[in-house]
Structure 1
Amino acid sequence: MTSSPDSGTDAETLIVTERRAWVSLVLTGLIIGTAFIAVYVGLQRSPQPSHLPIAVVGEQLATAAHAGLGDAVAVTQVASAEEGGALVRGGDAIAVLDATSPSTLKLDYAGAGGFSESGAARQLVAGLASKAGATVQENDIVPLASYDSRGLSAFYVVFGVTLSSFVLAQGLTAATAKVRLRHRLYAMGGFAVAIGLIAATVAGPIYGSLTAPFPLLALSLILLSAASAFTTKALGAWLGPAGIGLAVLTLTTIGNATSGATIGVDLLPGWAQAISAKLPPGAAVRAVNNFGYFNGSHTLVPLAVLATWFLAGLGFVLLRQRTARLPRKAAR
């Protein structure tokens, strides 16, 4: 019994297709793993403050701070320590510096702004005082929650919500042939509400690690989940496996690494500062921290960013479904 030339060609084509399939998966995994390590480890190497916002009382001290610290700080001159303290409590400055005597500087800072940012402010002011032969009195006027001693709870919560939402969207994308579109959309929407409420409950009332009011904390995390899931679904629908890989790089890798939760935004390199607040994890970290520590100031923009990613993802998923139907209608 002999095989036809066509059967041999088909077998070779099948082998090539299979090889391409596993090679592309291996390459995607290597790219994602390399990017994850490079971004996270790279940002930790030697973070340097750039335009760290500090309020300084009085023209003379403000001039000295600007001259002594240069571009490491962005000095905002204020008339009194109370005015500077209001900027700190509103999240507009990481610290306020005042000269209480010729040999004493007083630094009121926001520990809730993150260890890296508040630590950088304290270190810079200590160096400035040392050059002037002065001492520094420090006071944390916006401290972290007692059950968030390292200030990392926001990072872990945001990372967990982002990752779980991505995994769900990835699975639903793979199950396109088995699950109708509306059921996939319902699943992602329902999951966003569920994971947002669960994460807010665990990190808020149960553990006391995040101090934002529960409804606002839950809203922020629900929008984060929706933004992550629907963006992943849209990228997968339009680009296939490459879109899923792009979602990993954008959301779980670059987005979380540049969110400002582990390294303060003002200590990130320029490219990371430029995208930090525009990606869902960075927007969520800002919303959670601002609701929890800074009287809810500057939260409209982060919530709008999350809502925009969610709605854009939903829109592109629906658009993809519509464009897929057109060829079928034309063929009838």
Structure 2
Amino acid sequence: MRRESKEAMTTTTTEPHRSTSPTDRYSPRQIMIAVVLGVLLLQLGFITSYVAAFHQPTPRDIPIAVVAEIGLPDGIGQQVTDELNLIDGHPVEARTAANTYDARSLIRDREIMGAYVISPTGTDTLITANAAGSSAATALEGIFTKVDAAEHRTFVVRDEVPVAVHDNRGLSGFYLSLGWVVGGYLLAAAIGLLIGAPRTLREAGRHIAIMAGYAAISGFLGALITTHLLGTFTGHLLPLSLLGAGVVFATGIFTMGLRASVGILAVPLAILIFVVLGNPSAGGAFGSNVLPGFYAAIGRWITPGAGTEGVRSIVYFQGTGVGQPIVTLVIYAVLGVALMLGCTARNTRQTAAAA
């Protein structure tokens, strides 16, 4: 009996420290209520966010240039520019350009989204760039239809940077980016739910390596589908593969970092960031200048928007404008890695101290 008591005491004192799970702290009823309420809030947030972003696109500060052709009175270009900037609601932000060539260069350099060329014949030209956002181009047509009607003039439209034949309204890049994003956070969520957060720095390193490998493969395959299988973005396999790898890794590793820091709440948080807020603010066919101000401000700083803008820059503008999406992806990747390693090291120290 004494030997058994001694062994029992030894077993009790040497049993390793075990963290309690939610099922140990709360009843099944409480957990069910929390899950139902959490899913309901995400669902309502999804509906509210998407409808708020897309229910009433309104042009705002669309950058354009005004060109006055030879044969018009001096100063007419500046006069029209000033009048355009005084339109109620400020739908455009107009500036003057010396000639049509300069205006086209500004469009391709992504400094403006359109140009209005005033002709002495009375038939003006509106230069648009559907690849920069078809809704913005459509909005410009609506604005200048009213302007020219008031001045008893007419205009023709010339699309300087059209979307590809197989890229309806420029949406293919948006959906490609969403596919990359979904793959990133789904893999991170699956690892977190089925395997759990890493318990050691070595295990954290393995998780990071797995996500990096998956990002490289899925980024390449997504680009391959759109460039070769579907022929949507022919000729851009390598840069799109690199962009895709960045989008997948940044999204996935940030979700893993959340998992290491806040536990199972990482999944709804990732959905909130990347789906509820990220997808509508990415815009799709809508440029940031026709989205509500809140979505226009956050869109470029969330990975769906960064991916969409990156695809647009690579495919239609020879890489012009891709720098900002890269900065966004780097921020998410660095934060994710830092959270993973920092939280894993902290938990390892706490476990060792409690043992």
**From 278, 302, 308, the counterpart of 1:255:** 278
**Residues matched between the structures, number:** 320
Deviation at 1:75, TM superposition (A): 0.7
Partner SS state of residue 168, structure 2: coil
Change beyond 3 A, Cα 1:262–1:212: farther
In structure 1, the residue matched to 2:267 is 244
In structure 1, the residue matched to 2:304 is 281
**Do structure 1's residue 82 and structure 2's residue 101 form an aligned pair?**
yes
For residues 135-158 of structure 1, give each alpha carbon's deviation from its aligned partner in whole angstroms, at most 9, with x where no partner exists. 011111100011012221011111
Residue identity opposite 2:28 in structure 1: E
Matches within 5 A, 1:1-332: 16-57=26-67, 58-68=77-87, 71-101=90-120, 103-177=122-196, 180-210=203-233, 213-332=236-355
- State the alpha-carbon separation in 2 of the partners of residues 43 and 170 from structure 1: 27
Partner SS state of residue 285, structure 1: helix
Taking only aligned residues, the RMSD between alpha carbons, in angstroms, comes to: 1.9
- State the alpha-carbon separation in 2 of the partners of residues 274 and 210 from structure 1: 28
For residues 43-63 of structure 1, give each alpha carbon's deviation from its aligned partner in whole angstroms, at most 9, with x where no partner exists. 221111110111111323322
Residue identity opposite 2:339 in structure 1: F
Asked whether the equivalents of residues 162 and 252 of structure 1 are also in contact (C-alpha less than 8 Å), the reply is no
Deviation at 1:301, TM superposition (A): 1.9
For residues 204-241 of structure 1, give each alpha carbon's deviation from its aligned partner in whole angstroms, at most 9, with x where no partner exists. 22212235722111111110001110111111221122
Change beyond 3 A, Cα 1:47–1:39: same
Structure 1 unaligned blocks of 5 or more: 1-12
Asked whether the equivalents of residues 118 and 125 of structure 2 are also in contact (C-alpha less than 8 Å), the reply is yes
Q: Which runs of 4+ in 1 moved over 6 A?
A: none
Change beyond 3 A, Cα 1:70–1:330: closer
- State the alpha-carbon separation in 2 of the partners of residues 309 and 223 from structure 1: 10
Residue identity opposite 1:206 in structure 2: L
Deviation at 1:295, TM superposition (A): 2.2
Partner SS state of residue 56, structure 1: strand
Asked whether the equivalents of residues 95 and 107 of structure 1 are also in contact (C-alpha less than 8 Å), the reply is yes
Residue identity opposite 2:221 in structure 1: I
For residues 57-89 of structure 1, give each alpha carbon's deviation from its aligned partner in whole angstroms, at most 9, with x where no partner exists. 132332232234661111121111111111112
For residues 114-141 of structure 1, give each alpha carbon's deviation from its aligned partner in whole angstroms, at most 9, with x where no partner exists. 2211101111111111111100111111
- State the alpha-carbon separation in 1 of the partners of residues 245 and 26 from structure 2: 43
- State the alpha-carbon separation in 1 of the partners of residues 25 and 274 from structure 2: 34
- Compute the TM-score of the two structures, normalised by the length of structure 2: 0.85
Asked whether the equivalents of residues 181 and 274 of structure 2 are also in contact (C-alpha less than 8 Å), the reply is yes
Q: Quote the sequence identity (%).
A: 26
- State the alpha-carbon separation in 1 of the partners of residues 66 and 176 from structure 2: 34
- Compute the TM-score of the two structures, normalised by the length of structure 1: 0.91
